[in-house]
Structure 1
Amino acid sequence: MRILLVTAAGAHVPWIVPLSWASQLAGHEVRVAVRPMGVDAVRGTGLVTVPLGDEATIQRAQSRHQGLAYRGTPRNLPGNWFADPGLLDKDLRVNMALRLLAAAEGAAADAVALAESWRPDLVVYDTVASVGLVVAAAAGVPAVGHTFGYSFGFDYQGEEELWTAYRRLFEPYGLDPVFPRFLVDPCPPALRDPHRIPWAPMRLIAYNGPVVAEDWLTRRGGGPRVCITSGMTSTLLDGVVARIVDGAEKLGAEVVLAVDHRDRAGVAERPPAVRIVESYPLSVLAPTCDVVVHHSGVGTGMITAISGVPQVVLPQSTSQDFWADKVERAGAGVAVRDVEHADPDALPGVIRDAVETVLDDPSYRERAEEISRGNAAMPTPATIVGLLEDCAAGADVRSSPLLRTA
């Protein structure tokens, strides 16, 4: 059958790759649709890529709504609002939902055209990329959401303003609104929140892209190995990284500084006894480390967690606070808070102390290893493909043993 996967751009692309390839290796015809800014990332995975929409149009549509600004969103948002947006102030909640829908509106015409020309049998869509629902509606096929621990579970039908905006996504094309049959969630069980609708847990398998496993990975000195990385979405710490490295070295650690190729020029000189790796997959590097220090991004954090490695997280935004809370509640690491307001001279020492705490207390490693084992016990992407096949064939999958409910 034909399976269309619709992903959001940027850091979301790796999440959908394992299920995409599992579907293709099961003999299905697979295409991955994404807004223009994500085309190169998807194409690099070896999958057939379909661009949706015009990037300038999408960005203009999104700019009408503040949504979850990376900078400037209040840091005191209540509870686990990622899992339950109903906890948010109504104005912020509505703006966040409208921003997601605006991005979908900007690509909806192409989505309808794709549905009519390619005729998929099933649509799997990143829950941030609502345009996938438009494709499913236009093709008259089931939609399945793909999330990663939280799904922005807006109650579109429960609030008049959101329901009006949601219907407006479909109505220009003569379509009735549709919703996902269920979600696929690769978040490790210990870090996952319940969803509003049934979901199928799936083992998180990291997508690397091509890489050479260098021999130094398995050569270890006498001290602990500390990986310091800012991940894909944060540059606030760039000015203090050198001092963080210095603090880790004072613990007698072997320091590996993992940087994106775009940031390599900012590392002017190799600090003594520090190994710098450029655009190196964390899923290959992390299992060789004793602790990973990072910006509290969900992607970096999940890969660290399934590697069985404790983490020190440095959240600098509301979304990163969300992951920091998860790490601390799970006992898998330590969060250093308010780093953007910290004294830059004192911050490296605070981070060094956090690293020392994690290294000295074996419970952090033990808990991280439990998370890793929990992930390994989840159904594989290949198993989930069978559930997708049943759904596309019209089976009532609600009774499937693969599905969970809150």
Structure 2
Amino acid sequence: MRVLFTTYPEKTHFLAMAPLAWALRTAGHEVVFAVQPVFTDVITQAGLTAVPVGGERHLWQLMSRHMHWLPAGVGGLPVPYDAAEWHPGDVTWSYLKDGYELQVSRWHKMSNVPIVADLVEFARSWKPDLVVWEPTTYAGAIAAEACGAAHARLLFSVDSLAVTRAHHLRLMERQPPGDRADPLADWLGGYAHKYGFEFSEELVTGQFTISLLPRSLRLEADLRYVPMRYVPYSGAAVVPSWLREPPGRPRVALTMGLSTADHGAGYVVDLPDVLEALADMDVELVATVSEAARDRLASIPDNARLVPFVPLDALAATCSAVIHHAGFGTLATTALHAVPHLVVPWDGDGPALGRRIAAQGAGLALHPMQATGTTIRDRLLRLLNEPRFRHGAALLREEMLAMPTPNELAGDLEELAAAHRHAPLAGSAIGGG
């Protein structure tokens, strides 16, 4: 079969999708990634085929000029998606309605409008059997419905999008007919009208969802989820010679993730404060730190090794603990090596994932406002000295290893695609935008 993947230009999201693309390709299927031109090099560096669609304008350009563009909610997730973790009785109609208006006009349109037309045109020409899309790249669902392909979200975190959507639909039914605002459906429905089909909730949440999280860490809606084991991949990398030598004392990794570095955001922790607090501990601290940040340091402790990048899959295998920001790739790679986590989440889904790691017993989580050198030292000592965290990490690893691999899932996706495909619909030249 032919499988079309698509995502907005976010490298960490692509890295989570790449192993499934490889699995499908090695199973004999045709696979391409349709992405904006600025992102094609990231695809081809992974040995996959890229199809440029749309223009150069993208979300990160806007956010670099307006860092307030996606206001964080109480839980770290953008408004209104932070409501996914609230008690249903605390979620209000006005909060959801206003939040959707904000995020559709800012986040979702900025991520999707530049690619929709080209993506639909390519999909109708190439005729994929299955479209796999990043959970906010709704252009993938639009293109799939326009060409008759089956389609699925590839989800690598808690499903705050679908749970919030369920809250919205539940509360919308209770409103007077004149107040049943639905900005997301109105926007996506315009594209449905333009390309000749009816709006349905599948444009929002897919026909099914491929989920990379183990069950103990999930937050789900009432949808069909297809589990798939996470496979660590961080792009082109070289394992340094020092990493091949067993550490002489407990090794601790400190990493704040690819996205933070790539997009120029600051570190959630005060790096000099943390280095000083851990300087007299009998550990080897390996911290991934940009060269610019390293140059600003007055001194580097003797027990610290600062590197701009090292493949986490190789590093985590040698560690006794990992301090990280709860980015999904970092969290899942650490979990696969049964290493305890000290989570200092930045924003987005980080706080939700950090809370779940702590509740599962595989580590501890700190609110960024609590993340001083002293508190990080205290929590790290607990991870190293209390066996229960190693036990919790081992259980989490077993749970992940029980999930189907991408290669094992490939056959199931053929059946799911066959079940959901439909005859392509005639296009229309009106509506949309």
TM category (shorter chain) comes to: 0.7 to 0.9
Alignment partners' CA distance in 2, 1:83 and 1:389: 34
Deviation (angstroms), 1:362: 1.1
From 153, 171, 185, give the equivalent of 2:211: 185
CA apart distance, 1:28: 0.7
Map of 2:143 onto structure 1? 135
Q: Relative CO higher for 1 or 2, CA cutoff 8 Å, sep ≥ 6?
A: 2
Q: 1:148 aligns with which of 147, 152, 156?
A: 156
- 1:196 and 1:325 mapped to 2: Cα distance? 22
Aligned partner of 1:7 in structure 2 is 7
- 1:150 and 1:34, CA in 2 relative to 1: closer, same or farther beyond 3 A? farther
Contact 1:85 1:93 in 2 (8 A): no
CA distance in 2, matches of 1:263, 1:76: 25
Q: What are the ranges of 5 or more consecutive residues in structure 1 without an aligned counterpart?
A: 397-406
Contact 1:67–1:99 (CA<8 Å) still a contact in 2?
no
Give the distance between the partners of 1:206 and 1:312, measured in 2 at CA.
Answer: 19
Letter in 2 for 1:173: Y
Cα distance, 1:67 vs. partner?
9.5
Are the aligned partners of 1:67 and 1:98 in contact in 2 as well (CA < 8 Å)? no
2:307 equivalent to 1:277: yes
Rounded to whole Å, the distance in 1 between the matches of 2:220 and 2:63 is: 28
Deviations 1:134-174 (A, max 9, x none): 11012111111110133311248665423222202322233
Correspondences of 1:327-346 after superposition (within 5 Å): 327-339=357-369
C-alpha change, 1:37 and 1:271, in structure 2 (3 Å) is: farther
Equivalent residues in 2 for 1:93-112, closer than 5 Å: 93-97=100-104, 99-102=106-109, 103-112=111-120
Aligned position for 1:49: 50
Matched, 1:322 2:323: no
Out of 99, 112, 125, the position equivalent to 1:92 is: 99
May I ask how many residue pairs the two structures share in their alignment? 389
Which residue among 397, 401, 416 is the counterpart of 1:391? Answer: 416
Report the counterpart of residue 286 of structure 1 in structure 2.
316
- Give the match's secondary structure for 1:109: helix
Structure 1 letter corresponding to 2:390: R
- Aligned amino acid, residue 361 of structure 1: E
Contact 1:327 1:333 in 2 (8 A): yes
- Distance (Å, rounded) in 1 between the aligned partners of 2:190 and 2:61: 17
Gaps of 5+ in 2: 173-180, 422-433
* In structure 1, distance between residues paired with 2:236 and 2:149: 34
Contact 2:275 2:300 in 1 (8 A): no
Answer whether contact 2:5 2:132 (CA < 8 A) is retained. yes
Q: Using the alignment, how far apart are the partners of 1:28 and 1:34 within structure 2?
A: 19
Aligned to 1:401: none
Equivalence for 2:232: 206
Relative to structure 1, the CA distance from residue 330 to residue 274 in structure 2 (aligned partners, 3 Å threshold; closer, same or farther) is: same
Residue aligned with 1:292, SS: strand
Percent identity, aligned pairs only, is 30
Question: Matches of 2:356 and 2:81 in 1, distance apart?
Answer: 11
**Cα 1:18–1:329 shift into 2, 3 Å:** same
- Residue 197 of structure 2 is matched in structure 1 by 175
Structure 1 counterpart of 2:139, which letter? V
Q: Which residue in 2 is equivalent to 1:402?
A: none
Question: TM-score, structure 2 length as denominator?
Answer: 0.80
Contact 2:73 2:82 in 1 (8 A): no
CA displacement, residues 311-358 of structure 1 (integer Å, 9 cap, x when unaligned): 11112335322122112111111122133xx6xxx9111111111111
Cα distance in 2 for partners of 1:240, 1:105 equals 38
CA gap of 1:381–1:106, structure 2 versus 1, over 3 A, is same
1:164 aligns with 2:182: no
Q: 1:66 & 1:267 partners in 2: Cα distance?
A: 25
Assess if the C-alpha contact under 8 Å between 1:67 and 1:97 holds in 2.
no
